Chains A and B, each alone.
Chain A
């Protein structure tokens, strides 16, 4: 598990190498004053990433997790089933989020919010409680609408279809 985590971290640093290189190269056509600072930063960040990668490869032990990690569950030994379940929930969450965002762009706040609550309710709650999930989705949407739309007068997005 630790070995896998380390390789994932190394891949992320390799991606960062490309990102920093991109910042450096894309700045070349900018005027002198505009490109100086981002190129300096990109060069320093590139150097640091190369050092970090070098340390990863030289280090015999796997890289330890950081203090700042909000969730260090990946560092714990999880069985394959739990990992699969977590990954599935993560993909489901993203799918619901993207569908709700597209619904928001097209249909506005109400569609988006109902879909989000209902989606999470059905995907992550108990399927047999579909009536309760529907009521919770409707109630939460109304609550958010009243608190934000009415009491706090926050502008709620309208869909492009209306």
Chain B
């Protein structure tokens, strides 16, 4: 409690409040720009904060990370391009709402989700973090491996009725993650002598291609603006009211976000998609999901915002990032000499608790900013496609180039854009592919480590209780979509 009190006093110093506000605004701007997610945003901000106090720098970066998620939800709603994989579920109903001219309501839902979900997540986290860190210590390589497999199978299962296609896409993503230097033996694989992919396929560039370039190409096919009604109806406050009319969905989504957030390597994208699928299953009108259901937006956004603090705990306590953004945040921590691990809560308590307090305050800042400028941002959807499409392409490809100053990265983004487009038009969603790419290295490393520990015996993957639970959950997630109709038939007597 002393550490928490000291942290509150530290965050309330003017320079830290300025860093908090700066990170919030910068994060939303970065998130709003299609293709530039939190990872690219944090990478671009590193030179700016290099000379700052570590805690102040982490406050800035934490606010940037959290708010770019909100900014990313704006682009997910307005231009069908999630700023990061974490906003993937928001696209499903947010964009259809926008197409129907209810962009204002969707933005209100998103901002309220950031406030409520973020506050719930941070409150639980501030008091539970040390205990969660202790629990996370129980995870060994086999558990990490199975956790990642669970995440992939869950994503595949969310694509209901097409679990196999989801798994195929995830398999492709995992295979693409093996390109470059082998994490165990250091052998070069599948590079064909092309240097830019020797360190692996760059994640951010792939993400830019799969979402921003693909979306630009889809938009280019249509002659109109994004909003087919060419006007925006529904107010921000209508979105806020709608949010509080669904307390059960909010509670369930927040719980899902918290649980998923604590699990190592299962990031916000999984939380959002799981909460969306849960809200759909629980709904009396599941057919409206994917067609612009407000419950879909509030469930996915609440879970994502509640998940983010837990995601950070895994990153801070274990050094296992739950998402690409968290991976960059991990790098930022190391740059400032804060070594992730359970001892960080003892050695750097002031820094870590300052970060938590700052993130708590950020939830309120996001809501205020969302309330004041979100409506204006909705105008983006009225821009004609011949302006918005090249804008998306220029900004996203610039972001792709800026990370390593390599033109080859633009080519990689374009290649993934083409792949994403082909996948969409052939009935595959690129989301499992992206998750496979993100988790690939971790899956392979822990697979080999577990086998090394067991002397080559596969029994290590089902020896502990945690492993057994993870395997059970994985099987359930894969079989669940097929059991659903079976159970309905059984209980309702339908033929």
Interface residues of A (CB under 8 A from B): 5, 8-9, 11-13, 16, 19-20, 23, 26-27, 30-31, 33-34, 36-38, 41-42, 44-45, 48-49, 51-52, 55, 63-71, 73-74, 85-86, 89-90, 92-94, 97, 101, 104-105, 109, 113, 116-117, 119-121, 123-125, 133, 136, 140, 144, 148, 152-157
Judging by beta carbons under 8 Å apart, are B426 and A86 in contact?
no
Q: Are B427 and A5 in contact (CB under 8 A)?
A: yes
Closest approach, in angstroms, between the C-beta of A13 and any C-beta of chain B?
8
Compute how far the CA of A8 lies from the CA of B398 in the bound complex, rounded to whole angstroms: 33
B414 touches A97 (CB 8 A): yes
Residues of chain B contacted by A42 (CB below 8 angstroms): 171, 175
Mask for B156-197, Cβ within 8 A of A = 1, else 0?
A: 001111101111100110110010001011010110000000
A8-B426 contact, Cβ under 8 Å, with A104-B407, A154-B398: yes
**Distance between B291 CB and nearest chain A CB, rounded to angstroms:** 10
Chain B 239-283: CB-based contact to A (< 8 A → 1; otherwise 0):
000000000000000000000000000000000000000000000
Does B237 sit within 8 A of A, measured CB to CB? Answer: no
List, in ascending order, chain B residues with CB within 8 A of A109's CB: 398
A66, B390: Cβ atoms under 8 Å? no
Q: Are A31 and B185 in contact (CB under 8 A)?
A: yes
Taking a contact as CB atoms under 8 Å apart, the answer to whether A67 and B290 are in contact is yes
- Using known A-B contacts A8-B425, A68-B431, A157-B401, determine if residue A86 contacts B221 with beta carbons closer than 8 Å: yes
A117 touches B168 (CB 8 A): no
Which A residues are CB-close (under 8 A) to B431? 68
* Known contacts A37-B444, A68-B92, A124-B220: A148-B398 contact under CB 8 Å: yes
Instruction: Contact check, B168 vs A45: say whether CB atoms are below 8 A apart.
Output: yes
How far, in whole Å, are A97 and B153 apart by their CA atoms in the complex? 35
Q: Is the interface of A mostly helix, strand, loop or mixed?
A: helix
Q: Which residues of B contact A (CB under 8 A)?
A: 44, 47, 80, 91-92, 95, 158-162, 164-168, 171-172, 174-175, 178, 182, 184-185, 187, 189-190, 214-218, 220-223, 289-290, 384-387, 389-391, 393-395, 398-399, 401-402, 405, 407, 410-411, 414, 422-429, 431, 444, 447-448
A-B contact pairs, 9 of them (CB 8 A): A23-B190, A30-B189, A45-B167, A65-B427, A66-B162, A66-B429, A70-B429, A117-B391, A157-B405
Asked if A90 meets B172 with Cβ closer than 8 Å, knowing A34-B182, A120-B390, A125-B384, the reply is: no
Nearest CB of B to A82, in Å:
10
Q: Which residues of B contact A116 (CB under 8 A)?
A: 390, 393-394
Bound-complex Cα distance A5 to B426 (A): 7
Q: With A48-B168, A140-B394 given, can you name 18 additional A-B contacts, CB distance below 8 Å?
A: A9-B427, A23-B178, A37-B178, A38-B175, A38-B178, A48-B167, A52-B164, A66-B429, A90-B217, A117-B394, A120-B389, A124-B384, A124-B386, A133-B386, A136-B387, A140-B387, A154-B399, A157-B410
Which residue on B lies nearest to A52, using beta carbons? B164
Given contacts A33-B184, A121-B386, are A74 and B172 in contact (CB under 8 A)?
no
Selected contact of A31 from candidates B44, B165, B187, CB within 8 Å: B187
Contact check, B189 vs A41: say whether CB atoms are below 8 A apart.
no
**What residues of A have a CB within 8 angstroms of the CB of B395 in the complex?**
144, 148
Report A-chain residues with C-beta under 8 Å of the C-beta of B398: 109, 144, 148, 154, 156
Is A69 within 8 A of B422, CB to CB? Answer: no
State in angstroms the CA–CA spacing of A101 and B417 once bound together.
14
Q: Are A97 and B426 in contact (CB under 8 A)?
A: no
**Least Cβ distance of A121 to chain B in Å?**
5
Contact yes or no, B171 A41, CB < 8 A? yes
Residue of B nearest to A117 (CB): B390
Query: Chain A residues with Cβ under 8 A from B217's Cβ?
Result: 90, 93-94
The residue that A33 contacts in the complex, of B168, B182, B422, with Cβ under 8 A, is B182
A113 to B385, CA, bound (A): 16
Q: Which of A5, A12, A26, A68 contacts B429 (CB 8 A)?
A: A68
Do A27 and B189 touch (CB < 8 A)? yes
Do A67 and B92 form a contact, CB below 8 Å, given A45-B172, A104-B410?
yes
Docked pose: A11 CA to B425 CA in angstroms: 12
A23 touches B175 (CB 8 A): yes
Q: Which of A9, A38, A66, A148 has a CB less than 8 Å from the CB of B159?
A: A66
Knowing A8-B425, A52-B165 touch, does A67 contact B410 (C-beta < 8 A)?
no
Which residue from A48, A49, A71, A123 sits with its C-beta under 8 Å from B218?
A71
Closest to B187 in A: A34
Contacts of B91 in A (CB 8 A): 70
In the complex, what residue of chain B is closest to A141 when comparing beta carbons?
B394
A34 x B384 contact (CB < 8 A): no
Smallest CB–CB gap between B461 and chain A, Å?
Answer: 13
Cα A109 to Cα B184 with chains together (Å):
39
A121: B residues at CB distance < 8 A: 386-387
| Bound-complex Cα distance A52 to B427 (A) | 12
Q: B390 — which chain A residues lie within 8 A by C-beta? A: 113, 116-117, 119-120, 140
> Contact check: which of B168, B189, B386, B399 meets A120 at CB < 8 Å?
B386
**Contacting residues, chain B, for A85 (C-beta < 8 A):** 223
Q: Could you tell me the distance in whole angstroms from the C-beta of A33 to the nearest C-beta in chain B?
A: 5
Q: In the complex the two chains form, what is the Cα distance from A133 to B171 in whole Å?
A: 44
